[in-house]
Amino acid sequence: MKVNSPLEAYKFLPGTNCGRCGEDTCMAFASHLIDRSHKATDCLPMVEEDKFANKLKELEALLAPEIREVVIGVGEKAVKIGGDDVLFRHKLTFFNKTAYAYDVTDTMDEKELLERVNTIQNFKKFYVGDFLTLDMIAVRCVSGNPETFTAAVKKVMQATDLPMVLCSFDPAVLKASLEVAAEKKPLLYAATKDNWQEVAKLAKDYEVPVTLFAPNDLDMLKSLAKTFSEMSINNLVLDPGTFPTGRDLKTTFENFLKIRRAGIEGDRDIACPIMAVPLTAWMAYDDEISASYWETVLASVFTVKYGDIMIMHSIQPHALLPQLHIRDTIYTDPRKPVTVDPGIMEIGSPTADSPVIITTNFALTYYTVESDVSSNKVDCYIVVVDTDGIGVEAAVAGGQLTAAKIKKTLDDAGFDLKEKTTFNTVILPGLAARLQGDVEDQLGSKVLIGPTDSGRIPGWLETNWPPENK
């Protein structure tokens, strides 16, 4: 049995509504246990009082996700993978976005290696109020030499705090690198049917997570996972092999589905994060463009189903952007609209003569409007109304965007249209035209109806602003 609802979780709590967890009631706390914004140990009475000890232990076990969570790295840049409870995002949400690692090799000269590391760690793309970034460095042993590999690992560690995957099937190579890198808690790649005893000892001795690799052999993968778990090595990642083309690719896809389905349905042995290696596309194609595009196709497929971590090679924008946008979409919580803070935003250097544009706090709406005006160098104010993250048309229909809310947004910001602007005029989105009369009454201001598409705002302003010129 697993705790799936606030009511079920509530039964384990003290029920005193003492407020020490920061919530007014135990029921409110219970709902945050379910959405994972609180942990059971945030209820201090349960931690401090012996009489709750068993209930706390039971609750923690029942709240644990079906798929194990594995942490790689340390500090702010550490990544957490796995931790999912469902096969389909709409049934809850997917937690812990797929971690993307990009490779360097120990045969690269220092300049090339550091340039790649810097490109990987500095890459960022602004999207809907946040930056899309890359997560990890995979250091691959090509030399076969423990000293050469360790020297490359040291250089990576000096250049970045990003977590690492240490890639070699040779336990001697992994051991040498762990001597210098174990404290950074890298992920070992990988234990196989041939080296598992030595690699298991390394994972245990150095207390680092480890990948188990059994290409297209799910029985072997499960057997390795069971053996490692019985040795109390629980931070496991499973790699069933990523075959890049043909029927083997179909089999790879089916393997990912089988592993995740079994894990969600209670097979504890293989309820672990899964690794995909889209980098194998580079073995299938000779030319760089085809390989990098096919690598992105593989990354997209296994981000959707059910890769928790990936190793890739191409760091060209044409490869990175699709990967990052797909990941961002899959790991956006479908239960929560993406929002921005309400208030008055100044775009450019607005003056008293500048337009005042109304919109909602649905992030996609706000950043579309913001981008359309700022990219056209329109100095203006944007009044961002709290509509619970709902877009203009639905917010008007549902009563989240009203004249009273627009007035409240202006009042809360201390933005008096008569004092701060020359024209005492606001511009409503075309999709909110029916609010015009109410807004004029509430604000005592003139209301213009702008276009329905914010991309047309700059052109619309040329003929409609300032309002006296109409």
The residue within the footprint of ligand SF4, chosen from 6, 8, 17, 455 (CB under 6 A), is 17
How far out from the chain centre does Cα 105 lie? 27
Place of tokens 């302003």: 461
| Interaction between residue 3 and ligand SF4 (CB under 6 A) | no
| Interaction between residue 6 and ligand SF4 (CB under 6 A) | no
Number of residues this chain uses to bind ligand SF4 (CB under 6 A):
14
Dist. CA 67–CA 80, nearest whole Å: 12
| Interaction between residue 43 and ligand SF4 (CB under 6 A) | yes
Instruction: Give min distance, CB of 33 to ligand SF4, in A.
Output: 9
Instruction: Give min distance, CB of 335 to ligand SF4, in A.
Output: 22
| Interaction between residue 21 and ligand SF4 (CB under 6 A) | yes
Of the ranges 40-48, 140-148, 218-226, 376-384, which one interacts with ligand SF4 (CB under 6 A)? 40-48
| Interaction between residue 52 and ligand SF4 (CB under 6 A) | no
> Residue 272: which of 207, 200, 209, 198 has the closest Cα?
209
| Interaction between residue 19 and ligand SF4 (CB under 6 A) | yes
The residue within the footprint of ligand SF4, chosen from 4, 7, 44, 48 (CB under 6 A), is 44
Instruction: Give min distance, CB of 13 to ligand SF4, in A.
Output: 5
Of the ranges 21-29, 326-334, 351-359, 430-438, which one interacts with ligand SF4 (CB under 6 A)? 21-29
| CB nearer to ligand SF4: pick between 21 and 427 | 21
**Amino acid, single-letter form, for residue 158:** Q
| CB nearer to ligand SF4: pick between 23 and 103 | 23
Query: CB–CB of 139/152 below 8 Å?
Result: yes
Instruction: Give min distance, CB of 27 to ligand SF4, in A.
Output: 8
Query: CB–CB of 440/427 below 8 Å?
Result: no
| Interaction between residue 18 and ligand SF4 (CB under 6 A) | yes
Of the ranges 19-27, 176-184, 269-277, 370-378, which one interacts with ligand SF4 (CB under 6 A)? 19-27
| CB nearer to ligand SF4: pick between 14 and 467 | 14
| Interaction between residue 20 and ligand SF4 (CB under 6 A) | yes
DSSP 285-354: -SSHHHHHHHHHHHHHHHHHTT-SEEEE---SHHHHHHHHHHHHHHTS-TTS--B---EEEEESS--TTS
| Interaction between residue 343 and ligand SF4 (CB under 6 A) | no
Of the ranges 10-18, 82-90, 126-134, 389-397, which one interacts with ligand SF4 (CB under 6 A)? 10-18
> Residue 381: which of 390, 367, 370 has the closest Cα?
370
Dist. CA 5–CA 62, nearest whole Å: 11
The residue within the footprint of ligand SF4, chosen from 8, 32, 34, 45 (CB under 6 A), is 45
Query: CB–CB of 95/332 below 8 Å?
Result: no
Mapping DSSP to helix (H, G, I), strand (E, B) and coil, where does residue 1 land? coil
DSSP 359-382: EESBHHHHHHHHHHHHTTT--EEE
> Residue 62: which of 54, 71, 70 has the closest Cα?
54
Return the CA Rg of the chain: 27
| Interaction between residue 13 and ligand SF4 (CB under 6 A) | yes
| Interaction between residue 129 and ligand SF4 (CB under 6 A) | no
Query: CB–CB of 299/278 below 8 Å?
Result: yes
Q: Point out which residues bind ligand SF4 (CB under 6 A).
A: 13-14, 16-21, 23, 26, 29, 43-45
